[in-house]
Amino acid sequence: MGLRLWPNAPDGPHQRLLGLPDVLRETRAAINDTGVQVFDLEIIRLDADFNPHRWDALFDAGAALNARAVLVAADDTDEQRLTQSYARLCEVIKPYGMTADLEFMPWTAAPNAASALRIIRNAGQPDNAGILVDALHFARSKTTLDDIRQIPRELLHYAQICDAWSGTHFSTEQMIHTARCERLLPGDGNIDLHGLFSALPADLPLSVEIVNFELESRESPADWATRCRQHAQDFVGAKVEDSRKTLRC
């Protein structure tokens, strides 16, 4: 599972665990009881005032939960400073055993796969650097399948699957709304999911990220999670069967 322990915007939805030792203990007990592991944590935003120690509590929680990755967004429009901040972040979180996975999003300072790769290479490509490919942002940015194939395997730690209507004509407000509130089940939009996940490594873990407030309100959390997982697995079923791909929701 992935946990959003830091909101992606002021007052944004997130799981409340930081600074709550009882909740952390309960979460660790649930992991031990169920075998469901924590893969990634959200979210670190690299802005002009970046200070990596702002997120020390997040890093500590990640280590306690044996998380493998932290999702990173690029907000600083000064690319040189952004690159330096990213390199510093990788340095700070390395002792915690986590990768810093830069997610390209078309409304951010890393708007496509090529820009994310450039930032990481200019940062010296730290050992724990990574690029996160989200199907939605692939489809709504100037990113091609060839761009995806150009990402070195060592920078790919997981990818996110959902569906939506593709194109680069959406406003920033529309793109953010879809990303945070109105993603579609795989097969219900027109993103080239077959092409995208054929371009990515066959053994890459998949994060099933299908946030849709309206659809979620009609079902129990367990039923919705089950349906999201089934749609994702059906859509890439052959690859899952062949490569034992990890599907998460």
- Whole-number pLDDT of residue 237: 55
Under CATH, to which class is 2-248 assigned?
alpha beta
CA 123 to chain centre: 20
Instruction: Name every residue whose Cβ is closer than 8 Å to that of residue 182 and which is 6 or more positions away in sequence.
Output: 164, 211, 212, 213, 214
Q: Which helix (H) or strand (E) holds 69?
A: strand 69-74
Q: Please state, as a whole number, how many other Cβ atoms lie within 10 Å of the Cβ of residue 71.
A: 25
Q: What is the pLDDT of residues 3-51, one digit of tens each?
A: 999 988 888 889 899 999 999 999 999 999 999 999 999 999 999 999 9
The tokens for 89 are 């972040």
The tokens for 27 are 């979460």
Q: What CA–CA distance (Å, rounded) separates 217 from 182?
A: 12
Half-sphere exposure for 249 (CA within 13 Å, toward CB): 21
CA 207 to chain centre: 7
Q: With a cut of 50, which residues of the chain have pLDDT below it? A: 238, 240-249
What does the angle CA 206 – CA 210 – CA 215 come to, to the nearest 5 degrees? 150
The domain limits of the chain are 2-248
